[in-house]
A and B are shown apart, each in its own frame.
Chain A
């Protein structure tokens, strides 16, 4: 029962902290319960963005390893 994202952003190649800024802005525009798919590079992006997502109170519902990165599926909170 894989959830379908309502919106997708590919942030591979986008450095910190812009990757988090873009993620945060998208999540803020979404309705509670909607899902955002984010693609991130390994390394610093994956060290910081998931932590920030958690700290903001959004819910990471699915994580899939990619070649050289990760796909996060994030459920927005209001």
Chain B
């Protein structure tokens, strides 16, 4: 029933399929007929069983090589297009799924998180897993990368990601436990803690970057976490050209993370044009339009123009960056960044 195909037809069909495959985590290589398989590993975590299976598949179908992508995905290069189905099946037997490329929600990246990383305040691994399970593969105008950093050290670069979450903590003094030892003041690198008139450490809210080092050092449980949450950055990317993310909110709760992602994807789909990265959409449409969309979810945790004037945001963001942002408008009064009203 099938007609005999010419070599040319077959080649075209293979190339068309390769383009289609890219959407599914299969990357055509320079070498004709060879593809790289990108494996899904939210937060860069995978079980030893999956790791062994990835290695076994790389030996059997590739050249025994595995490349760790810059976004934590193990990739198997040099797989024959003809072996694709077998590779996918054998990976799946061990529970190893395939990641994605192209214009869609990508696998979330994360640091080790508070489960075992001593610096982290948030469970970045769980959030990377959950957000990937919920949003992975959803189509967006251009690629959409999400990451979770457990603290302001920001190893996963939330300030250079389409949607980045950075773990933060608000310290609180328990005066009756404080021995006035001044360790907390000594370790604060932001000059945000000083001895007050009452001989107790006092926090400068405009300077504190919510790293929590004072909590970690205190031997007497006198400095404790009042609340933890996420600083949210939007519109960042490295690449051609790079775009630093806008800081958008602070102390967003774990429970609000999904709604923030969902709202951001919806906003991006509504306003972004095909092939336009989120940061460029924000520049073109206006940051206040996005802030307005997010206001319903995070409320007063949304950052304002006044917040960005504080020393802490100048310290958290790349040097000099705050001065390059358009003025954030006053959403409550409907005022726009250019001074007009909505």
Q: How far apart are the CA atoms of A51 and B214 in the complex, in Å?
A: 10
- Asked if residues A46 and B186 are in contact (CB atoms below 8 Å), the reply is yes
Which of B22-30, B163-171, B175-183, B260-268 lies on the face that meets chain A? B175-183
- Chain A residues contacting B118 (CB-CB under 8 Å) are 51, 55
Chain B 201-218 per-residue mask, 1 if CB under 8 angstroms from chain A, else 0: 000000000000100110
User: How near does chain B come to A22, taking the closest CB pair, in angstroms?
Assistant: 19
- Asked if residues B186 and A70 are in contact (CB atoms below 8 Å), the reply is yes
- Chain A residues contacting B213 (CB-CB under 8 Å) are 47
Closest to A64 in B: B181
Taking CB atoms and an 8 Å cut-off, the chain A residues in 19-74 that contact chain B are 42, 46-47, 50-51, 53-55, 59-65, 70, 72
User: How near does chain A come to B151, taking the closest CB pair, in angstroms?
Assistant: 13
Closest to A63 in B: B181
Q: How far apart are the CA atoms of A63 and B201 in the complex, in Å?
A: 15
- Asked if residues A54 and B186 are in contact (CB atoms below 8 Å), the reply is no
Chain B 170-195 per-residue mask, 1 if CB under 8 angstroms from chain A, else 0: 00000000010111001100000000
In the assembled complex, B286 has its CB within 8 A of some CB on chain A: no
- Asked if residues A70 and B183 are in contact (CB atoms below 8 Å), the reply is yes
> Known: A47-B213, A51-B118, A55-B118. Is A60-B187 also a contact (CB below 8 A)?
no
- Chain B residues contacting A70 (CB-CB under 8 Å) are 181, 183, 186
- Asked if residues A65 and B216 are in contact (CB atoms below 8 Å), the reply is no
- Chain B residues contacting A54 (CB-CB under 8 Å) are 216, 219
- Asked if residues A47 and B187 are in contact (CB atoms below 8 Å), the reply is yes
Q: Max chain A CB contacts within 10 Å: which of B179, B181, B219?
A: B219
Taking CB atoms and an 8 Å cut-off, the chain B residues in 238-265 that contact chain A are none
User: How near does chain A come to B23, taking the closest CB pair, in angstroms?
Assistant: 45
- Asked if residues A63 and B216 are in contact (CB atoms below 8 Å), the reply is no
Interface residues on B, range: 10 to 19
- Chain A residues contacting B217 (CB-CB under 8 Å) are 46-47, 50-51
- Asked if residues B219 and A42 are in contact (CB atoms below 8 Å), the reply is no
Picked from A46, A55, A59, A61, the residue with its CB within 8 Å of the CB of B183 is A46
Q: How far apart are the CA atoms of A44 and B182 in the complex, in Å?
A: 15
Q: How far apart are the CA atoms of A60 and B220 in the complex, in Å?
A: 8
- Chain A residues contacting B219 (CB-CB under 8 Å) are 50, 53-54, 59-61, 63, 72
- Chain B residues contacting A72 (CB-CB under 8 Å) are 219
User: How near does chain B come to A2, taking the closest CB pair, in angstroms?
Assistant: 12
Q: How far apart are the CA atoms of A64 and B179 in the complex, in Å?
A: 10
Q: How far apart are the CA atoms of A64 and B219 in the complex, in Å?
A: 12
Q: How far apart are the CA atoms of A37 and B22 in the complex, in Å?
A: 62
- Chain B residues contacting A42 (CB-CB under 8 Å) are 186
Q: How far apart are the CA atoms of A33 and B181 in the complex, in Å?
A: 22
- Chain A residues contacting B186 (CB-CB under 8 Å) are 42, 46, 65, 70
Closest to B213 in A: A47
Q: How far apart are the CA atoms of A62 and B16 in the complex, in Å?
A: 71
Picked from A51, A60, A61, A64, the residue with its CB within 8 Å of the CB of B216 is A51
Closest to B186 in A: A46
Closest to B119 in A: A51
Q: List 8 A-B contacts (CB under 8 A).
A: A46-B186, A46-B217, A47-B213, A51-B118, A51-B216, A54-B219, A55-B118, A65-B182
A residues engaging B (CB < 8 A)?
Answer: 42, 46-47, 50-51, 53-55, 59-65, 70, 72
Nearest first, the 8 closest Cβ-Cβ pairs linking A and B are A60-B219, A63-B181, A47-B187, A51-B216, A50-B217, A65-B182, A46-B186, A63-B183
Q: What 6 additional pairs, Cβ within 8 angstroms, besides A50-B217, A63-B179?
A: A51-B118, A53-B219, A54-B216, A59-B219, A63-B183, A72-B219
